[in-house]
Amino acid sequence: MKNFITREIYKKSIDRYVGKEIIKVLIGQRRVGKSYLLFQVMDSIREQFPNPNIIYINLETNEFEKINTSTTLYDYIKSKSKTGELNFLMIDEIQVVSEFEKTLRSLLAEGGYDIYCTGSNAHILSGELGTFLGGRYIEIPVYALNYPEFLLFHKLENTADSLNMYLKYGGLPYLIHLDLSDETVFDYLKNIGQSILFRDVVSRFEVRNVDFLVRLMRYLANEIGNIISARGIGNFLKSQNISISITAILNYLNYLTTAMLISAVQRSDIQGKKVFEVGEKYYFNDIGLRNSIAGFSPFDLGQIIENAVYIHLKSIGYSVLIGKQGDKEIDFIAERQGEKIYLQVALRISEKQTMEREFGNLLAIKDNYPKYVITLDEYSGTSYEGIVHIPLRQFFFKFA
């Protein structure tokens, strides 16, 4: 049995489905801890069932390298199954197996399987599998550690120094095994970034223009918080004497989001609730990886904390949009279980002009949902006409 730190956010989401014949799919960027969540599930199963038959398949190890088709996957599972009882099936990185959906479909039809899968592909349930299964699967997104988890994993107090460390190094769980120094951490993060790039993008999508892909990643890392369109990227490239089609740019953006290195967030008109199809914001699913690509600079802190707020909201189950109110922009509209909040993110509000902009954008919204301005300022309690200023460290714990 492996030692691990329990991630309560995901334990609550998964435990309600333990013992149910429904496929649980944990999707997330490589190295965010999906495998350890399977070990966490195994412990929950052992607590609830006497002598459970657990079948664990890690498709990224040499032990299972011969399992690469639906037939070999099915045959192996059946050889380890027990008739007349519930079999608990754990498959790590299932997208490695071609047509894996055929095996899952057959096992569901036969019955007697409680199935858990992980994958590093945002569209793993698209196509035939998702259509056929209907309501017989649940998708659980897995993210890098948010700030409270970062403190738990690294056994740190909630201090300004701890926050600075999180904003620099991000939340990949394996960092607990490393010396938290710039040289060590960024070497590790660069290697992970390259692994995602070449294994989950270049190889999977047979990308030919790797140089452009790398340039696109750098561009996105430097444009956190800005509205981005394929046409805008194309114009920027032209200024660099690089010519590439809009279609190719859109494809490459899709490859990066499918590998879950980045997330695209759409804009929504607050009044009419219209979602704009052109122009999105892109955020990295780990701020450490973003910093390993663009470099970490105090001048980028405004972008970095906005990215950190996005990761936190997603990790605790909010759906997130960018708000548009006339010519004013709201950084985040976040909704969860029927509740909605509006959030503006700024580095500081010590300057009058910044206060007027951040509070003013929220004042333009004429509904009664809670509205917050989040900054790195340490003081709290400031409010104006019902809009609350909240320091970043407090925000991470107020919303959990």
Tens-of-pLDDT digits for all 400 residues of the chain?
A: 567 899 999 999 999 999 998 899 999 999 999 999 999 999 999 999 999 999 999 999 999 999 999 999 999 999 999 999 999 999 999 988 988 888 998 999 899 999 999 999 888 766 555 666 666 888 899 999 999 999 999 999 999 999 999 999 999 999 999 999 999 999 999 999 999 999 999 999 999 999 999 999 999 999 999 999 999 898 888 888 888 999 999 999 999 999 999 999 998 887 656 666 567 999 999 999 999 999 999 899 999 999 999 999 999 999 999 998 888 899 999 999 999 999 999 998 866 666 777 888 898 888 889 999 999 988 766 777 889 999 999 999 999 8
CA atoms of 319 and 107, how far apart (whole Å) = 32
C-alpha torsion 250→252→254→256, nearest 10: -150
CATH number of this structure's domain 8-141: 3.40.50.300
Backbone torsions φ then ψ of 328, nearest 5 degrees: -105, 145
- The DSSP element (H or E) to which 91 belongs, if any, is strand 87-92
pLDDT at 130: 63
Q: How far apart are CA 14 and CA 138, in angstroms?
A: 9
Overall pTM surpassing 0.95 (yes/no): no
Sorted by where each begins, the domain ranges of the chain are 8-141, 147-398
Helix axes 147-154, 301-315, angle to 10 degrees: 90
